[in-house]
Structures are given as structure tokens and as C-alpha cells.
A and B are shown apart, each in its own frame.
Chain A
Amino acid sequence: MTDTIVSYLANFEPFKSFLAFLTESYGANGPTIFAFLIFLVAVIIVVGALATIGGLGTYAERKISADMQARMGPNRVGPYGILQFLADGVKMLMKEDIVPKDADRFLFFIAPMLALTGVFGTLAVVPFSSGLTLTDLNVGVIYLVGIGSLVGLAVFLGGYASNSKWSMIGGMRGASQIISYEVPVVLSILAVVLLSGTLSFGGITKAQGGWPHEWFIFHNPFTFLGFFILFIGSLAESNRAPFDLPEAESELVSGYHTEFTGMRFAFFALAEYIEVFVLCGIAAALYLGGFQVPFNLGGDTIWGQLLQLGAFFSKTLALYYLVIVIRWTLPRLRVDQLMSMCWKYLTPIALFNLIGVGLWMWLFDGKSLFTLLFKSGAAAAGIH
């Protein structure tokens, strides 16, 4: 069983000899040093890749919005302006660091750090492929929900520490929005846990298959609804439009990060874009089959792993594209609409869903709708 990238790599010959060398040199500490080195390399690769994806996310967002509004979008830096995010990063680095005189300097420093730490923490359990999962915790879902709410704390602290009225209102809105939408999100995640009987993301992904009819979204009508609740809730949790009330630029200037300049602002933005990717990845892993490839092509070989990565990233990036398109299509909700959307629609539907999935499991013995239809169709046609 592979539950971390270390235990996956330890099956291979070069790594075995490397492990043997370390064990010989350092005695009982060998495996720990081996794990430390592999984890360090893997963590740096994953964070580097995700930071690049986050940066490219800002580029994609500007380019897609430009396309939808019949503009050019960024087209100066690099081919088709694709290096714009690097130029933006350098610009942010060279901006003056302004801290308001009345601000709480310590919290002002802590807030972007918390946002980034919370988002990086969620990367540990994202199942990129069966081999490339930093650590597939057996309490992965609880861990993700817990560490992900650090971002909500960062939003509130960022708003509070600035001592500016716009920031304060934005932070308050952000905190109430993020905690409210956590309830439907967790309830719709629980529906998937009900189907798979495990809290680890690898286990949940492996309980599904490569073909769309084996995904949990098409397992039964309740999970079909559950996916959309999860997706809408994720949009709200990552403060994306149409739920971008904490940073509503037409009413609150820039919301909770009004007073943040330079790199501090850049970290808030980076955290937001990585969080969107992570939430799309989680939605893909829970409901859309994650890294599963049809025909069992995704094996332990290098090509199998690459296919799995391809499957995971194509599903996630498709959702990412959808998130961006939604942002530039829908108008922003009002605060009262936002709260009634959560408590009067999503939460009751999610509760109903959870019981519905349980009922389906009990009545049909955990079989999916497709299996039942196929079985009855085959029985009617006389095929056994």
C-alpha cells in the first residue's frame, strides 16, 4: 500500500539501493533521513509547480476575461504575454512596503503568512496521482477542512489588522461567508465518504473508476446534486465571484487587502489562486474520478503515473476554467442573498442529500445507478 510518495518510491530499485546506503551509513536513522530527503524534494517540486500554476492562473484569468470582453489582454511580456505573472511578481517585489500607522503591525505581518501557510498545508493531501501524493493521510478530509479554514482566519485578521473601515467590513464579510459555506461543503464531502467508507483522498479516488459512469458524480441522483453544492460552496470559500463580497471592489475598494502593498498583497493573491486550484482538484478527486484513467492504463510505471497526472490535471483545469468563466459571467450577489443562499438553500439540500445517499446505499447495496440500469436492461434482454 502506498500512502506517501516515499513508500511509493521505496519500491523502486535505485531508491532501494539509496535507502540501503543511508541505512548503512546512519544506522537506524537511515529510513528517516531517506524520507526527509524525498519529502523535501517532493515538497519543493509540488510548491514550485503549484506556485507556477497560481501565477499562470492570474494570466489565464486576464486573458480569458479579455477574450470575453473583446480586448487583447496582456501581450507584451514573452510570447502572447505568458510571462506577465513573472513581471508582476518582480514589480510587487520592488513596491514600497507601506504599513498604516494605526495598524496592528504584528497581525498585519501574520495575516498573509497565515493565508499562504493554510493553502500550502492543503497541498499535502491533494492526490495528484497514485504515486505523487505527498501524504495520503487516513484522516485526509478532516485535515483538509481544518487546515483550509486558516485562510478564513487570515482574511479576518487581514481586515482587522489594517485598522481601515473598508478592510474591517471586508474581513467581517469574509469570515462570516467562509464559515457559513463550510457547512454545505463538508456535508457534500460527507456524502462521498458515505459511498467510499474512507477519509483518505487516495482511497476515495480509488473507489471510483476511469470512465465517467464510474465517477461518484454519476453514482446516483443525490451525488449529482452534491457535486454542484460542493462546487458552489468551494467558490464561496475561496472568495471567488459571484461570491467575492470580501473584496468587492465597487463597494469596499479592495476589501480585506486594501492596505496591503507589495509582496504582502502578492502572497494574498497567490494564496487565493492556489486555493482555487486546490479546491478544484479536491472536487475532481472526490466526484470526478481524480487521477483514475480508463482501461486501467494508470499503473505504477512512469507512463501510468504520467497518464494519471494528465487525468487529474485535465479535470482540475477544466473546473478552473469554469471558475474563471463564472467570474466574468455572473454578477455579484448581495450579502443577504449570499447568506440566504447558504442557509436556506445549500445547507438543507446538502442535509437531504446526505440522507438520500445513505438511503441509496442501503436500498441498492451500494450499486451505482448505471450498474442498476445496465443490470435490469441486460435482464430484460435475456442476457446474463
Chain B
Amino acid sequence: MSTSNLDIYMPILMLLLLGVLLVVVTVVFLSKVVRPHNPNPVKEQAYECGEDPVGSAWSLFNMRFYVTGLIFIIFDVETALMFPVVVVFKSMNEVGLGGLVLIELTIFVLILAAGLAYCWRKGDLDWVKSYQTGKDPSGRPRIEND
């Protein structure tokens, strides 16, 4: 028997629904029957080691991962673009075109590796960036930050 396309995706839908239902049923209904409910103002505070919380946590702070996030997006798109090439590589290799695909793949990877090397050299991968401390730990002339 051959299953149709939609049948193949049926268990995925079931699993996702099961994940949602399990949380809804236990948190909203099942647990409500047996659990106590005695709210008081102190209990409802956000935990800050026993002190009254100072301000909201939804404030701006330097998360340092902004550039990392940008690099991630570039590499994620890169891997997404490499998927089809990598899948056909084996069959291409069998008909003797493996070298061609490999060269294309290498050029593609090298361009992105160059980008990574640039970020690395510029200090964007460091936790404390070299232009923030005012000196470059490696002692080499650093690339100007524009």
C-alpha cells in the first residue's frame, strides 16, 4: 500500500497536537483540581533573591550577541543553500561530475570562511571587543571599525 503525501505528515500533526493538549489538559484542568491556590503579593513577585524587585526586567541591556546573531543568520542561510548540493553530490559523483560539484562547494564555503575570518580578525567573535578595551590582545594592527 502506498500512503499519500498527506498521510505521511499525519503523525507530525498528531505529535504537535499531543504536545499542546498535554500542557493544556494538565496545567489548566487536571492540576487545577488537586493543587492549592493561596496567592499573596509577596509570592507573586518576581524572584530577586528575597529583595523587592527593582524595576522591570524588560529593559535594554547590552546583550553582546548582536553580531553573533548576524553571523548566525549568514551561516544558517549558507547551510540551507548547501543542502541541495550536498544531497545530489553522491549521484553526481557516480556519473563522474563529483569534482565539479566539489569545486563549487569549496568556493562557496571559502567565501563564507573568508567572512568568518574577517569577523574573527575584527574582534567581533571576542567577548570583550578589542576596540572596547582600546588595545588588541594579539598586538596586530586591527581593522578599523566603521
- Chain A residues closer than 8 Å to B43, beta-carbon distance: 98
Given contact pairs A176-B68, A190-B79, A35 touches B7 in the complex (Cβ within 8 A): yes
By the criterion of a CB under 8 Å from any partner CB, how many residues of chain A are at the interface?
93
| B5-26 with Cβ < 8 A to chain A | 7-12, 14-16, 18-20, 22-24, 26
Residue of chain B at shortest CB distance from A112? B23
Given contact pairs A35-B3, A179-B69, A361-B93, A4 touches B86 in the complex (Cβ within 8 A): no
Distance in angstroms between the alpha carbons of A10 and B4 in the assembled complex? 14
Distance in angstroms between the alpha carbons of A366 and B34 in the assembled complex? 60
Option from A121, A354, A366 in Cβ contact (under 8 Å) with B16: A121
| B23-50 with Cβ < 8 A to chain A | 23-24, 26-27, 30-32, 34-39, 41, 43-49
- Determine whether the beta carbon of B36 is less than 8 Å from that of A259: no
Contact with B along A151-190 (1 / 0, CB 8 A): 0000000001011111110001001100110110011001
- Determine whether the beta carbon of B20 is less than 8 Å from that of A117: yes
Option from A117, A164, A339 in Cβ contact (under 8 Å) with B48: A164
Given contact pairs A164-B48, A259-B46, A336 touches B127 in the complex (Cβ within 8 A): yes
Which DSSP category, helix, strand, loop or mixed, fits chain A's interface? helix
- Determine whether the beta carbon of B46 is less than 8 Å from that of A98: no
Tier of interface size on chain B: 35 or more
- Chain B residues closer than 8 Å to A340, beta-carbon distance: 125-127
- Determine whether the beta carbon of A197 is less than 8 Å from that of B57: no
**A-B CB contacts (within 8 Å), total count:** 241
Contact with B along A61-104 (1 / 0, CB 8 A): 00000000000000000000000000000000111111111110
Which DSSP category, helix, strand, loop or mixed, fits chain B's interface? helix
| B71-104 with Cβ < 8 A to chain A | 71-72, 75-76, 79, 82-83, 86-91, 93, 98-99, 101-102
Given contact pairs A93-B26, A348-B113, A31 touches B68 in the complex (Cβ within 8 A): no
Contact with A along B96-139 (1 / 0, CB 8 A): 00110110011001001100100010000111100000000000
Distance in angstroms between the alpha carbons of A335 and B86 in the assembled complex? 33
- Determine whether the beta carbon of A164 is less than 8 Å from that of B93: no
Distance in angstroms between the alpha carbons of A3 and B44 in the assembled complex? 50
A212 in contact (CB, < 8 A) = no
* Binding-face segment, A262-270, A288-296, A300-308, A368-376: A262-270
A52 in contact (CB, < 8 A) = no
B56 in contact (CB, < 8 A) = yes
A36 in contact (CB, < 8 A) = yes
- Determine whether the beta carbon of B79 is less than 8 Å from that of A4: no
A42 in contact (CB, < 8 A) = yes
Contact with B along A346-368 (1 / 0, CB 8 A): 01100100110011011001100
- Determine whether the beta carbon of A347 is less than 8 Å from that of B75: yes
Q: How far is the CB of A261 from chain B (nearest CB, A)?
A: 10
Lowest 7 CB-CB distances: which A-B pairs, in order? Answer: A197-B90, A336-B127, A117-B19, A164-B46, A10-B1, A176-B65, A120-B19
21 cross-chain CB contacts under 8 A: A7-B1, A19-B1, A35-B3, A35-B7, A39-B14, A94-B34, A96-B35, A96-B36, A96-B38, A97-B35, A124-B11, A137-B8, A163-B57, A172-B63, A182-B72, A183-B72, A183-B79, A199-B83, A339-B125, A343-B68, A358-B101
Known: A98-B44, A190-B83. 9 other contacts (CB 8 A): A35-B3, A39-B11, A93-B34, A97-B27, A99-B44, A180-B68, A182-B76, A186-B79, A258-B47
Q: Which residues of A contact B (CB under 8 A)?
A: 3-4, 6-7, 10, 19, 31-32, 35-36, 39-40, 42-44, 47, 93-103, 109, 112-113, 116-121, 123-124, 134-135, 137, 141-143, 160, 162-168, 172, 175-176, 179-180, 182-183, 186-187, 190, 193-199, 253, 258-259, 262-264, 267, 335-336, 339-340, 343-344, 347-348, 351, 354-355, 358-359, 361-362, 365-366
